[in-house]
Structure 1
Amino acid sequence: MQITASTVSLTVDDVTASQRFFTAHLGYVEQAAAEGFASLSRDDAAMDVVLLARGTEVLPADQRDQRASGLILAFTTTGIDTEEKRLRAEGVEITMPLREEPWGERLFQVTDPNGVIVQFVEWVTPTA
């Protein structure tokens, strides 16, 4: 098997709100959209994001009323300090402040209007 792309599909209450968040603040662009659906991508190694309206009939019946919750959409990046400052300046609420873990992970989180947690991670040499 060869995987040629990665996509995460998120079921949300308000597709338009998440679509605006991902395009305005995270650099995604719309590839396709229809009522209750948006497909977003970037030109780099980030995974594509598909947003589906909760309750849509294209989902199996046992999945239709679920929301994207209990997951963290994590992006490994460079220049994490700059990204945190940029998002803060754009009015995005930082829901977990920038911190560094003893094992060398620097990270912070934001949350989109539908409660999707987006985490940014940068790996550094662990502090002694």
Structure 2
Amino acid sequence: MPNIENLKKQAKRYLRWHRERHHPVAAVIRATLPRFRHLADRDVLDAPFSLADAQELVARQNGFERWEALTTGTHAMNNPTGTISERPYLSGTEAVLYVSDFAASLSFFTGKLGFAVDFSYGDPPFFGIVKRDKARLCLRLVSEPVFVGDIRQREELLSAAITLDSAADIKALFLEYQAAGITFQQTLKTQPWGARTFIVLDPNGNLILFAGPGD
């Protein structure tokens, strides 16, 4: 069995990460503690999370249901992997955009596209999430080109696709971005399948599709 002092340090580390809103720990908490299973990352980080919760997390990772059982080495779980018998619930998806200037990208998405910063991580920051309503985009700083030349523009390789619920909304958003001086890879148009779409080109060459129903 692992050293108890090391286990205590692990629990305190999880507790600190939760308090610091370290997003990767939200996935660990959700996967390990059943009561957090159906929560999104933000909801996990907003929820109360005590040292006892962190200790239970460590216990379950080591095959025990409770911290006390872990520290005494008794009553191991029947399912030591901590997997859940029900079908796993997928709570969301987020596109990852690669950027060469993290601060400038945050400024573009917040100042031009109307997003808000959900969180940023690192000192200086190298990863973060921006959101507008239910749309969320991850930004990841990279120091070297990820794509060759202008292949994204030539082939219209999308980095993200965001949907709107009505024809009025997609038109209003396009006009909002047009007034803000946004560069478009494609202006608002009706596609052969009926959807109305436009594509924004961000300062890092990422193509972001916005789509809504036709008139």
Q: Calculate the TM-score normalised by the size of structure 1.
A: 0.75
**1:100-125: CA deviations, max 9, x gaps?**
12211111111110011111111226
Report the counterpart of residue 60 of structure 1 in structure 2. none
1:29–1:108 distance in 2 versus 1, CA, 3 Å:
same
1:52–1:41 distance in 2 versus 1, CA, 3 Å:
closer
SS in 1 for 2:105: helix
Q: Give 1:72 shift.
A: 3.4
SS in 2 for 1:11: strand
Kept after mapping to 2: 8 A contact 1:19/1:38? no
The range that moved more, 36-45 or 111-120, is: 36-45
The range that moved more, 36-45 or 99-108, is: 36-45
| Alignment-mate amino acid for residue 37 of structure 1 | F
Higher helix fraction (1 or 2): 2
Equivalent residues in 2 for 1:6-85, closer than 5 Å? 6-33=93-120, 34=122, 35-42=124-131, 44-46=133-135, 48-55=136-143, 66=146, 70-77=157-164, 78=166, 79-85=169-175
Alignment partners' CA distance in 1, 2:189 and 2:139? 29
Q: CA RMSD in A?
A: 2.2
In percent, how many aligned pairs have the same letter?
Answer: 28
Report the counterpart of residue 87 of structure 1 in structure 2. 177
**1:14-39: CA deviations, max 9, x gaps?**
11222111112333221322324242
Kept after mapping to 2: 8 A contact 1:38/1:50? yes
Q: Which runs of 5+ in 2 are unaligned?
A: 1-87
Q: Which runs of 5+ in 1 are unaligned?
A: 56-63
Q: Give 1:65 shift.
A: 5.5
Does 1:101 pair with 2:185?
no
Alignment partners' CA distance in 1, 2:158 and 2:200? 13
SS in 2 for 1:82: helix
Kept after mapping to 2: 8 A contact 1:74/1:118? yes
Q: Give 1:43 shift.
A: 5.7
**1:47-67: CA deviations, max 9, x gaps?**
x22212114xxxxxxxx7525
| Alignment-mate amino acid for residue 121 of structure 1 | A
1:15–1:105 distance in 2 versus 1, CA, 3 Å:
same
Extract structure 1 runs of 4+ deviating beyond 3 A: none
Please tell me whether Structure 1 or Structure 2 has the larger radius of gyration of its CA atoms.
Answer: 2
